Structure 1
């Protein structure tokens, strides 16, 4: 052990330390420039989703379950033409008074916006197995792809994540 420590304190230049001349002799690694990776934002009104029993809309006693999203992040990879964003968020589903354990399908919306322009939009029917009382889940959408225009995307570009709380469209009955 003493010999190892003595080697660390050696003043001999040949024992593990390189001189500045030696460092310049090694080829420099090419610089990798990272593309701008848009932030994930969630609007407060879209971070929650409630499902009610038939005819019980907004009645707390007829709540089947409530879901929420929180703590979202992203990771980006880019090439000359495409920016691919992997969106990840933590969520939770809690049963309501008339809820039971089983699978539920959450309507999650992923959009990429640049200012007021929507450049990507997809609704994901995300299945979650709900245990008695409730459960946590991880939402992952790894294939969000947008054009990587010349100069990259703008600093106003954001990934908007939330539940699709729009009322379901009713089909025509014939």
Structure 2
């Protein structure tokens, strides 16, 4: 009896499979295959400039008052590392999303809370600066005195010169703003 039941089950399964292959049209299965669509041209992505961390500005130390290099007056030391980017482009503009990992450690004169880091994002083509923006980036430091952070600047827009050979010299420079811009002199009374 079990052999007859198995045979019936296999027969019914085979009929169900064949019924699923039927179509509502009378000659749909007999029609010749449609010609393949024309091949699509491959998409060439635009050149995406690499991110470089400047050795002299990838680490920032902040001290109380006018103290420099006095370890007892260190407020914090911050560093940037492991930077990357992603690019999107149209005919006129390339937009670069810059991301970097950072770390901040409090010194003996530091306190937990919010620290605002001056991060400078520049795009250079050879020696020419084609984009420059200082970002005041807030970092919350817990009571433990150290933290890691992810810096992200998603809207760095430059002219799209990917078609020209010059674009291969374009770089995104990332570092802390050292504040070397001279402040205007005060007027004497």
Q: Same fold (TM over 0.5)?
A: yes
Runs of 5+ in structure 2 lacking a partner?
Answer: 1-32
Find out whether 1:147 has 2:159 as its counterpart.
Answer: yes
1:124-163 CA distance string (max 9 Å, x none): 1111101132100000000000001371561010000001
Query: What are the equivalent positions in structure 2 for 1:102-141 lying under 5 Å apart?
Result: 102-131=113-142, 132-141=144-153
Give yes or no for contact 2:80–2:175 (8 Å, CA) kept in 1.
yes
Give yes or no for contact 2:47–2:162 (8 Å, CA) kept in 1.
no
Greater mean deviation of Cα atoms: 73-82 or 124-133:
124-133
TM-score, with length taken from structure 1: 0.80
Find out whether 1:88 has 2:99 as its counterpart.
Answer: yes
1:11-35 CA distance string (max 9 Å, x none): xxxxxxxxxxx79724544422200
List 4+ stretches of structure 1 deviating above 2 A. Answer: 26-31, 166-174
1:81 positional shift: 0.1
Q: Corresponding residue for 1:32? A: 43
Greater mean deviation of Cα atoms: 152-161 or 101-110:
152-161
The structure number with the bigger radius of gyration is 2
Greater mean deviation of Cα atoms: 52-61 or 139-148:
52-61
The count of corresponding residues between Structure 1 and Structure 2 is 155
TM-score, with length taken from structure 2: 0.74
* Root mean square deviation, CA, Å: 2.4
SS in 1 for 2:56: helix
- Structure 1: how far apart are the matches of 2:168 and 2:85? 15
Rate the CA distance shift 1:130–1:23 in 2: closer, same or farther, 3 A.
farther
